[in-house]
Structure 1
Amino acid sequence: MNINTNYNFLNVYNNSEITSKDQLGKEDFLKLLVTQLKNQDPLSPMDDKEFIAQLAQFSTLEQMQNMNSSFNAVRAISLIGKNISANINENGNIRTVMGKVDAIYKQNGEYFLEVGNVDVPLDAVTAVSE
């Protein structure tokens, strides 16, 4: 009996979302795991220990992403009422913004600080003072 070992993994990346920092996310990890299960050799299936280890990695990745999101929320909230300095990129030009943080908001998974009439990405902050 012949077993097909030529697998096609191209569909794994179709319509997948890449995070803003071009890193694989939990959705990409899950798609790879499902594809691996679909294409495993029935006469030599994946070792159950290996499968459990991959599920543990998936769970760890998800929890790390949740912690990172929570950390960014706390970081943004802690800046309300403080004076900041930030370098923001506007069409290739770097602009320095300084002022008091009046409010924060979250858009597309990223936190922004309202400084006067300017919306500053949280990651653009370079200095904080009272």
Structure 2
Amino acid sequence: MTKIDPSYYLQNQSTTRQPSPELGKEEFLQILMTQLQNQDPTNPMDDREFISQMASFSSLEQMMNMSKSIDTLVQSQLVSPVIKYSHMIGKEVSYQNYEEETGEKLDIESSNVIAVSQKEGWAILELENGKKIYADAILQISDPNAKLDDATEATVEGPDKTEGSE
């Protein structure tokens, strides 16, 4: 014989009402109907007041819908890798090149970004040289259109990473 879970008994169910923080059409109509039912018959609600309440509610509902739509739009833009990396179009990026068949490291290459796309949630940069790389594979970003001051040195020196040098 199967046993009944005691949590399903009526005596174990919550008897307190959980108020909703949002008011919708149904709640407004319920309040309006209660107001109409309990109004003084000798002094009924003015029709202009009634229409004003309906217009106010309609306006409020439209503002709430617009606010939700804007929130959804903002969230989708914050999450989108395409939008996150779109500022890189026209920039020159350097990345480690690998042999496709063996996975062996080759020289570091540079190319301009011409497009940004998305694959499985990852940003992919499409380059002028025909390659597509993941955005997290970038080693350096530069602006080829930026003018350097004559006194500014454009090279950055660091450790030599060729084989055999230590």
TM-score per shorter chain, which class?
0.3 to 0.5
Q: Which has the higher strand share?
A: 1
Of structures 1 and 2, the one with the larger relative CO (CA 8 A, separation 6+) is: 1
Bigger CA radius of gyration:
2
TM-score, normalised to structure 1's length? 0.44
TM-score by length of 2: 0.35
